[in-house]
Amino acid sequence: MFKDLQIAWRNLWRNRKRTAITISAVVLAVVLSTFMSSMQEGTYARMIDNIVKFYSGYIQIHHPDYWASRSINDTYEPDSLLSRAIGGTPEITLAVPRLESFALISSGENTKGAALIGIDPPMEDSLTGLSKWIDQGSYLRRGDNGLMLAINVAKNLDAHIGDTLILLSQGFHGSSASALVPLRGILKFPSPQLNNYGAYIDLKSAGEFFDATGRITSMALLVKDYHRVSGAASDLRAKMEPRLSVKTWDEMQPDLIKMIEGDRAGAIIMKGILYMVVGFGILGTIIMMMAERKKEMGIMVAIGMQKYRLQRMLSFESLFIGFLGVLIGFALSLPLVSLMVSHPVRLPGEMAKIYESFGIEPVLYFSMIPKIFINQAITIFILTLLIALYPLLSIRKMIVISAMHGK
């Protein structure tokens, strides 16, 4: 058998051009499918990143009853145990505290209900980029006693920058919460729903207002990308549960997952089409190679080589081709993809504007996670092996006499 391996190897190098062409078909398959996978994964990860950064963060830590009740009574004080737990989980890049509840906001004759969110202004900005949506007035500063409103809430209240507004709510343990606040800034979001939703005050002011000083409803965490979330979450859970509850973005927004899965399914079909095209590219070269060597193979069988040995030899050749092709493909796609990651391609004109209006960078995203490269390499290798069945079948059906005549 070892002899056959050697022969197979030498066969490949006997006709360099032919081998090169066949291997390059495999290389191409690997490079293109890796490129496409990388782009799909990158776009996907960026989409999740954008949606998650808009408000919820990747992970949130709550009082165990909070998610069901949303009550101001189910708040907690973040202590050193929590900060150590967060600090000890390296995937977490940012932890942003919030104290949020429902409140009535009143200006002049108008009263409207809204979500009142106590934030740490600079930290919130690092997570959600909130400050870039300021349309009028200014963004809150830490310790500020003022208020920011979403634009339609402000319009409904007929409130203008500098006006004093009244906040009313139910505070911690049922106490009455009331305060007078100046309107510091008005936010305008790209999505109309968000424009009807929120009011923001500084975290310290929120604590005083709700009689819940030092308490928060949630700590929102940012992770590098969505692949690291489950690792970080289970890490935190081990340290924090049952005292506090840890929820991930997909648990908090299950509808989002459904939408993404639907998209992913479409992407699979696209991959299927690509495999079909590149697969045929490889098959084409193999068919041509067989056609070209027909005479040679016919003679080999005629002088006594058993068909099965010929088949085995060809299988080894295919294995080598597959292996080399995948290896070279992998080696080529690595620098290509990392180039796309470090120097992403900007989208053209009109499309760029639409993306930017949503606060999303108008760029093609690529992903470098190892899973992509490995998966594509393996898939193409398997595809090559499947295609390698053709030569085997061809040998089986071969009629020696006709083969020797080159037919």
Partner 1 sequence: MTKAIFLLTYLYLFVFPFNGVSQPTATEIVKKADEKMRGEKSSESTLTMEIIRPSWTRSVSFKSWSLGLDYSMVLITAPAKEKGQSFLKRKNEMWNWNPSINRIIKLPPSMLAQGWMGSDFTNDDLLNQSSVVQHYTHLLSGNDIVSGKDCYKITLRPKEDAPVVWGKVVLWISKGDYLQLKAEYFDEDDYLVKTESASDIKIMDGRIIATRYELIPADKTGNRTVLKLDAIKFNIPLTESFFSQQNLQKVR
Partner 2 sequence: MIWAVSWRNIWRNKLRSTVIIIAIAIGVFAGIFTWAFYRGMVIQRIQAAIISESSHIQVHHKDYLTNPDQRYVITGIDSVIISIDNLPGVEATTGRLLVTAMISSAETGSGVRLVGIHPDQEKKVTNIYDKITQGSYFESHRKTPIVIGEKLAEKLSVKLRSRVVLTLQSMDGTLTSGLFRVEGIYRTYNSVYDETNVFVRQNDLSNLIGLDNSSGHEVAILLSDNDRLDLVSMKISEAFPGLDTKSWREIMPEVSLVEESMDISMYVFLGIILAALIFGIINTMLMAVLERVKELGMLMAVGMNKLRVFFMILLETVLLSLTGGVVGIIAGYIVTVFFKHRGIDLSRWAEAYEKLGYETVIYPVTNLDIDLKVALMVLITGILASLYPAWKAIQLKPAEALRIDI
175 is a site residue for partner 1 (CB under 8 A)? yes
Residue 75, token pair as written in the block: 């708040």
What's the closest the beta carbon of residue 176 comes to partner 1, in angstroms?
5
Site string for partner 1, 100-129 (x = CB under 8 A): ----x-x----x-x----------------
Cα–Cα separations (whole angstroms), residue 375 to 110, 264, 310, 331, 382: 59, 16, 31, 14, 11
What's the closest the beta carbon of residue 204 comes to partner 1, in angstroms?
18
Q: Decide which of partner 1, partner 2, none touches 175; Cβ closer than 5 to 8 Å per partner kind.
A: partner 1
* DSSP states along 191-246: SHHHHTTEEEEEHHHHHHHTT-TT-BSEEEEEESSGGGHHHHHHHHHHHHTTTSEE
Whole-angstrom distance, CA of residue 207 vs CA of residue 127: 21
Site string for partner 1, 200-229 (x = CB under 8 A): -----------x------------------
Cβ distance 361 to 42 under 8 Å?
A: no
Place of tokens 């090559």: 384
DSSP state of 171: -
Q: Decide which of partner 2, partner 1, none touches 36; Cβ closer than 5 to 8 Å per partner kind.
A: partner 2
DSSP state of 74: S
Q: Decide which of partner 1, partner 2, none touches 211; Cβ closer than 5 to 8 Å per partner kind.
A: partner 1
174 is a site residue for partner 1 (CB under 8 A)? yes
N-to-C CA span, the chain: 30
Q: Decide which of partner 2, partner 1, none touches 16; Cβ closer than 5 to 8 Å per partner kind.
A: none
What's the closest the beta carbon of residue 73 comes to partner 1, in angstroms?
8
Place of tokens 């942003």: 96
Cβ distance 186 to 137 under 8 Å?
A: yes
**Residue ranges in contact with partner 2 by CB under 8 A:** 17-18, 21-22, 24-25, 28-29, 32, 35-36, 39-40, 43, 47, 113, 152, 155-156, 190-192, 254-255, 257-259, 261-262, 264-266, 268-270, 273-274, 276-278, 280-281, 283-285, 287-289, 291-292, 295-296, 347, 351, 354-355, 357-358, 360, 364
Q: Can you give the binding site for partner 1, defined by CB under 8 A?
A: 73, 104, 106, 111, 113, 166, 168, 170, 173-176, 178-180, 211
